[in-house]
Amino acid sequence: MMNSKTKRYNLSDSTIRLVEEEDQFDFLCEGFDSPRARMSCGHVVTPMSLTKWCEQLLKQGEARFVCGQSGCNAEWSYQEVCKMALLTPEEMKNFETTMALNAAARDPNTKFCPGCMTPVTRGSSSDLYVCCHVCSAKTGRSFGFCWQCLREWKGQQPRSDRCENDDCHNSALKTLRECPEVQIELAGGVIGCPSVRACPTCGSLIQHTGIGCTEVSCPRCKMSFCFGCLKNANECIIDDFDICLSGIAARQTSIPVWDGRIFHTEIYSIPYP
């Protein structure tokens, strides 16, 4: 595997437009040891400067790669980034994982097609089959993938439970179903409660250690809710000692779908570990 510190363009690669110009993405003047090449938007990079720029975009929560040079808002395809940044298999894995997480955080109805890594918006929350028009155009046939296992679709559709790929299951639901219990203090004393809950507003999985307050604040949608009864913190009935009087809600069997709203409550909660 090529060391990321020594990534260099191959002078004999005719598919890369090599140029005798300055690296426009070497913002820290590191002087990367590689020939320079021109991106599709016209700006000049080296493999390392492009890699670092794209990593910075991912750290900022982006799921797409935009040039960002003054006056240029061109979007590079993931395929172009892989090629021009000479991404290693490990780097590609890290990029794809972060892209998917960032996309989910920005829009829960968007995921990346496993065939081309193009972001695709889900049409119906009751159908796991999703058609990628980019892959369909490239292959000349309808290409669909499973929203749940993110593999090319197998079997009849539409379906809301699973496709026919082996081990296709909703990992979040499996976690909710199989997570161990923790002991938390409610009005009836110390009671067993599932250690993982899906936020009632956005569906993010949140774990509780059993230590501290039952009221938690979701880091994704910012909604505060009671880990025991799953009610909004404003609706949860508590006693003088801030202990929930409603009891433990059953294990969740579905994941809430988020509408994208961010909530800011005036309730102060004790952070859970």
Domains of the chain (ranges; CATH) run: 4-96 (3.30.40), 107-169 (no CATH), 170-273 (no CATH)
The CA distances from residue 71 to 43, 67, 186, in Å, are 11, 10, 58
Beta strands at 215-217 and 224-226: parallel, antiparallel or unpaired: antiparallel
How many CB atoms within 10 Å of residue 83?
Answer: 17
For the chain, give the number of residues. 273
Q: Is the pTM of this model over 0.85?
A: no
Q: Residue 5: what pLDDT?
A: 60
Averaged pLDDT, 26-44 = 93
Q: Residue 264: what pLDDT?
A: 52
Average pLDDT over the chain, rounded to an integer: 85
Highest average pLDDT, of 50-54, 132-136, 251-255, 265-269, comes from: 50-54
Q: How is residue 65 written in tokens?
A: 């790669």
For residue 123, pLDDT over 90 is answered with no
Q: Which residues contact 239 (CB under 8 A, 6 or more apart)?
A: 187, 245
Residue percentage of the chain with pLDDT more than 90:
44
Averaged pLDDT, 181-186 = 81
